[in-house]
Amino acid sequence: MPELNGYEAAKIIRNMPNTTIANIPIITLTAFAQTDIKEKTEQYKMNGFMDKPFNPVELYSLLKSYCKAHIISSAS
């Protein structure tokens, strides 16, 4: 992204006053097999991460599980 990286965008989203938006699932999709990806994902309160190249079926399944959990927790 030209102005923000994914971590900066996640930080902004997580600090939004609307809790429904602030808690939306965020998945890191990265081409870099860095050892600190998991730590950064946790630091910026992202839900998970996947490496590229990724399996579209696995990404869909991961997003579906997080979105389902998000909808349930938002309804409570």
Condensed to tens digits (0 to 9), the pLDDT of residues 25-75 reads 898 888 876 778 888 888 999 988 888 888 899 988 888 888 776 666 666
Give the total number of structural domains in the chain: 1
Phi and psi, residue 22, nearest 5°: -60, -25
Which range marks the domain in which residue 26 is found? Answer: 6-75
Say how many residues make up the chain: 76
Q: What pLDDT sits at residue 44? A: 92
Say which residues have a Cβ less than 8 Å from residue 21's Cβ, sequence separation at least 6.
Answer: 13
| Arithmetic mean of pLDDT, 12-34 | 88
Residue 57 included in any domain = yes
Please indicate whether residue 28 or residue 11 has the higher confidence score (pLDDT): 11
> In this structure, what CATH number is given to the domain that contains residue 49?
3.40.50.2300
